[in-house]
Structure 1
Amino acid sequence: MLESYLTGLIVCGGIIVAIGAQNAYLLSQAIRREHHWWSAGLCMVADVTLFTLGMFGISAALMAMPEALEILRWLGVAFLGWLAIQSFVRAGRGRAALEAGEVTKRSLRAVVFTTLAVTLLNPQVYLDTLLLIPAVGAQQEDATTFVAGASSASILWFGLLAWGGSALAPILARPMAWRIIDGVIGVMMAAIALHLTVSGL
């Protein structure tokens, strides 16, 4: 059981640590301190839910309906492209330094919606959580313990992003730092959208 748990922890950890749209968005929210723990919580719940569904056979159903992934692919391209444009606009215009106690500029509803969109409109999320990770889990002695390990990795990682980004906010609150952050996030979003467009899934 311990081996299955550690396998899930390591495999999932290795996959989600790779910087992607979800990580980039959560990190930017944490640095802005805009409902970042809500955003992190949604990312955790989505991952745990998808891991569990994948281990219980949803991956087989998904493979039988490739057109569903194709639809998600183009929705993801459009949404990630929109996020990239927003980031580039902010990088070009710049924005005032953020104070630690500053009132958040966006509502909780807006943050929740965007977090769900970044998570659920990215086909790579489904490939990782419903196909790749369950494929490894199916080879383990205890599938339930494997899912627990994978879920632990997700919770630890998103918690670390939320806490770390918030802790670094005073350092990264300078206008030039924000230009760089927005520019990097814009490049990452655009690169993922371009990869989905050119290479598909």
Structure 2
Amino acid sequence: MQAFWTGLGLGFSLIMAIGAQNAFLLRQGIRGEHLFMVCLICALSDALLLTFGVYGAATLTGRFPTLDIVMRLAGALFLLLYGIKGLASALRGGQALAPAGQTKASRGRTVGVCLALTWLNPHVYLDTVVLAGAVSSQQAPKGAFLAGAVLASFIFFFGLGYGAVRLRPLLAHPRVWQILDGLMAFLMWGMAVALLWPLIASSLIT
């Protein structure tokens, strides 16, 4: 039972920081666009990554040492492009400000963005695969630890998404949406720089 509570606590601590994925989920909740699907994708993706971290991460990272570099480059590129899109939306002050129920993004596009923000973000792998995998090696049984961590993901993502629905009245003004999109853009760029910095630093040292 102790392993379950350890997994639950660790799961919450890993995903509570507002990153690219959580910011996107919060925005979808406020706009009321494909919310259940986005929450489910985030939670299931976390569950898959946690399962891999608990039962097999060490083998893959040992066999493919360049995987971290590839993940960082792909993730940074996507975050840079998504940040440009967010800033453009903030400067236009139009399309992204549509009320819930109007001018919704297509289901396919929403799924694509959600999957990209989840699976192209190296921080997700570092948290769910590397860190959770390392902690799980000290827990018994591992299945109980994994169950706690996965439960934390489902509670957090669905709580964040549907909790954001209550913020709609506070965020009805178009100016607020412009500020939100602008902040998200700079958040994406900051995360992209953070992902690339270890590669840049190592190249400068050598």
Structure 2 CA distance, aligned partners of 1:196 and 1:141? 33
The residue number in structure 1 matching 2:75 is 76
Q: Which moved more, 1:90-99 or 1:186-195?
A: 90-99
Task: Tell me which amino acid in the other structure corresponds to 1:119.
Answer: T
Deviation at 1:84, TM superposition (A): 0.6
Opposite residue 115 of structure 1, the aligned amino acid is C
Equivalent residue, structure 2, for 1:141: 140
The alpha-carbon deviation at position 141 of structure 1 amounts to: 2.0
Residues 31 and 99 of structure 2 are in contact (CA less than 8 Å); yes or no, is this contact kept in structure 1?
no
- Larger mean CA deviation between 11-20 and 161-170 belongs to 161-170
Give 1:82 shift. Answer: 0.7
C-alpha deviations, 1:105-143, integer Å up to 9, x for none? 211111011111110111111111111011111101211
1:74 partner letter: L
Alignment map for 1:107-118 (pairs within 5 Å)? 107-118=106-117
Q: 1:78 to 1:17 in 2, by over 3 A?
A: same
Structure 1 vs Structure 2 CA RMSD: 1.6
Deviation at 1:53, TM superposition (A): 1.4
Letter in 2 for 1:180: I
Task: State the distance in 2 between where 1:99 and 1:170 align.
Answer: 11
Answer yes or no: is 1:190 the counterpart of 2:189: yes
**Aligned-residue offset at 1:23:** 0.6
SS at match of 1:29: helix
Q: Deviations over 1:152-171 (max 9, x none)?
A: 11111101111012221232
How many Å separate the matches in 1 of 2:54 and 2:89?
41
Counterpart CA distance in 2 for 1:82 and 1:12 is 29
State whether structure 2 residue 191 is matched by structure 1 residue 172. Answer: no
| Overall identity of the aligned pairs, in % | 38
Listed one character per residue, the Cα deviations across residues 168-194 of structure 1 (whole Å, up to 9, x for unaligned) are 123212101101111111111110001
Q: Is the 8 A contact 1:34 1:104 kept in 2?
A: no
Superposition pairs for residues 101-112 of structure 1, below 5 Å?
Answer: 102-112=101-111
Per the normalisation by structure 2, the TM-score is 0.91
Alignment-derived partner of residue 35 in structure 1: 34
**In structure 2, C-alpha distance between the alignment counterparts of 1:99 and 1:117, rounded to whole Å:** 25
Which residue matches 1:48?
Answer: 47
Displacement, 1:92? Answer: 1.4
Which residue matches 2:99? Answer: 99
Task: Report the equivalent of 2:23.
Answer: 24
Query: Which deviates further from its counterpart, 11-20 or 166-175?
Result: 166-175
Aligned-partner residue type, residue 113 of structure 1: G
CA distance in 2, matches of 1:63, 1:80: 27
Aligned to 2:158: 159
Instruction: Give the conservation status (yes or no) of the 8 Å contact 1:95–1:178.
Output: no
